[in-house]
């Protein structure tokens, strides 16, 4: 569940479409209405803007910054950035219990507060603590730095740590093959590897020394942005469960890293929004981390969509509840169609992949084939992208489809090589010598957790990555990878 929380943590750093003032309504057809939690629901259309380009007449605005700048904890505009700062020694505001502070309405004080849940705000709090720890380190080594400079250096360092974890830790757990492990480390370190780069720096070009540290950004002639295709393939709500399993970690010893006993099962509806923030305030931060570390993510597959998200109360950008609940499963299909994202077959053609000509090309699951035929007839060109991505046969070790993987790989590389803070300015002058050392020594999310909760990681974490299931038994024959366990 830490892996699931992480990707929401990242999406809240990257993407949120600006909405229009026009509200629309979706109604369930009579023949299926009885199976829908909501017979109809209302929401705001995505706001279109004119691009002035003849081959692309309209586009959409993003209210979040698409760069890897930690805006999920720092904010997306000046007002938001000022709101989260303590204005003392460069630090961010954090509660005495180590969790996020809240305003009088129980909305968290953080960079992004829309559609949050307890696992997501837990990671926000963890990286506020990380930022503040970087401030303490910088203050110790550079005592003359004032509040503003400490804040700016610590933000660069913390944002780079987040980017690095996503690149070489989270991604290789989601796409768990030796090839991807090597490939994502090449993105960061190059073929010559970390030891060579630590000793000699970036001296051999992107292939041998990696994308991070290039002498200048490379946008391949196209200004960097996140695309609608990227937004579409990151719709992975099937990773979320219908309930959070809290564990009892009060045992004084745990020599075998055994999974702690269940203390409570909490419906996800009680872990979201303001109610989730109140619930989280009563749960020890270590207990929440251990609990999520021992709960597997759901499979990104058909018929595994969280039921509670089909009658979901969404939030506006200020964290306030919106009056009209939505069926997220239906809304996600609508959004792709509304924003002009290609259907599954055309999407594959655009990526120079082979399209399907019949349902059997997509899957060998007879039940899925029957359902697709019922919905789309035999016209495979009508297949919606999200449905196709979840029905598609998976490569062994992949939690996502090969089609989605193409987009993951392309944007993961572009996001690093187009950013001056990971290329031209990835140096001691920009980050400080000790700040850059902090980034270079951090390899995984486990390193960050261990920095703040060393006793907890020593007791409960057997595995090398916080994104793995934490208590894999010594005999791996019965171990079920995180991507094979259904949510419901």
- Helix spans in 351-472 (H): 366-376, 385-391, 402-417, 428-431, 433-441, 445-452, 454-460
Please identify every residue annotated as catalytic.
234
Phi, psi of 72 (to 5 degrees): -60, -25
Dihedral of CA atoms 189, 193, 194, 198 in degrees, nearest 10, equals: -90
Is residue 12 part of an annotated ligand binding site?
A: no
* Residue 176: partners with Cβ closer than 8 Å, 6 or more residues away: 397, 398, 399, 481, 483
E strand or H helix that includes residue 57: strand 56-60
Residues 6 or more apart whose CB falls under 8 angstroms from that of 106 comprise: 274, 277, 278
Q: Which residues pair with 326 in a beta bridge?
A: 312
359 contacts 387 by C-beta, under 8 angstroms: no
Scan for tokens 């890293």, then name that residue: 257
By CB atoms closer than 10 A (0-12, 13-18, 19+), residue 408 is: middle
Taking the CB of residue 314, how many other CB atoms lie within 10 A of it?
17
CB atoms under 10 Å from CB of 263, counted, come to 15
**Which residues, at least 6 apart from 117, have a Cβ–Cβ distance to it below 8 Å?**
8, 268, 271, 272, 273, 276
Alpha carbon 324 to its chain's center: 26
Tokens standing for 13?
Answer: 């750093």
For Cα atoms 94, 95, 100, give the angle at the middle one, nearest 5 degrees: 65
SS3 call for 223? coil
Pairing of strands 48-53, 56-60: antiparallel
Numbered residues of the known binding site for heme b: 237
Numbered residues of the known binding site: 237
């Amino acid at each position: 569940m830490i892996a699931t929380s992480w990707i929401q943590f990242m999406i809240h750093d990257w993407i949120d479409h600006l909405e229009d003032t026009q509200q629309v309504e979706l109604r369930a057809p009579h023949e299926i209405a009885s199976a829908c939690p909501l017979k109809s629901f209302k929401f705001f259309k995505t706001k279109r803007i004119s691009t002035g380009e003849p081959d692309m007449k309209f586009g959409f605005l993003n209210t979040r910054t698409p760069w890897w700048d930690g805006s999920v904890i720092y904010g997306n505009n000046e007002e938001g950035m000022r709101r989260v700062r303590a204005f003392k020694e460069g630090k961010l505001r954090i509660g005495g219990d180590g969790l996020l502070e809240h305003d009088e309405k129980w909305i968290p004080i953080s960079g992004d507060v829309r559609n949050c849940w307890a696992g997501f705000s837990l990671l926000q709090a963890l990286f506020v603590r990380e930022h503040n720890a970087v401030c303490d380190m910088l203050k110790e080594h550079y005592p003359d730095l004032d509040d503003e400079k400490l804040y700016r250096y610590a933000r660069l360092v913390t944002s780079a740590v987040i980017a690095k974890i996503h690149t070489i830790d989270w991604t290789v757990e989601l796409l768990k093959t030796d090839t991807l492990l090597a490939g994502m480390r090449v993105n960061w370190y190059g073929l010559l590897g970390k030891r060579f780069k630590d000793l000699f720096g970036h001296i051999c070009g992107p292939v041998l020394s990696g994308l991070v540290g290039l002498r200048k950004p490379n946008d391949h002639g196209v200004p960097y942005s996140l695309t609608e295709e990227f937004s579409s393939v990151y719709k992975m709500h099937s990773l979320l469960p219908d309930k959070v399993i809290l564990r009892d970690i009060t045992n004084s010893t745990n020599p075998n890293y055994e999974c702690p006993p269940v203390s409570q099962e909490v419906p996800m509806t009680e872990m979201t929004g303001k109610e989730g923030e109140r619930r989280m305030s009563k749960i020890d931060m270590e207990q929440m981390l251990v609990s999520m570390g021992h709960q597997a993510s759901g499979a990104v597959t058909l018929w595994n969509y969280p039921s509670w998200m089909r009658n979901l109360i969404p939030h506006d950008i200020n964290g306030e509840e919106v009056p009209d609940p939505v069926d997220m499963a239906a809304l996600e299909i609508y959004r792709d169609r509304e924003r002009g994202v290609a259907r599954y077959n055309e999407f594959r053609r655009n990526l120079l992949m082979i399209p399907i000509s019949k349902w059997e090309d997509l899957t060998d699951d007879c039940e899925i084939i029957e359902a697709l035929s019922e919905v789309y007839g035999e016209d495979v060109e009508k297949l919606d992208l999200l449905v196709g991505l979840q029905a598609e046969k998976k490569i062994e070790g992949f939690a996502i489809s090969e089609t989605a993987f193409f987009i993951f790989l392309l944007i993961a590389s572009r996001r690093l090589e187009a950013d001056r803070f990971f290329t031209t300015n990835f140096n001691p002058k920009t980050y400080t010598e000790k700040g850059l050392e902090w980034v270079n020594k951090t390899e995984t999310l486990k390193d960050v957790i261990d920095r703040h909760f060393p006793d907890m990681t020593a007791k409960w974490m057997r595995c090398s990555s916080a994104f793995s299931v934490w208590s894999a038994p010594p005999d791996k024959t019965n171990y079920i990878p995180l991507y094979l366990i259904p949510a419901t």
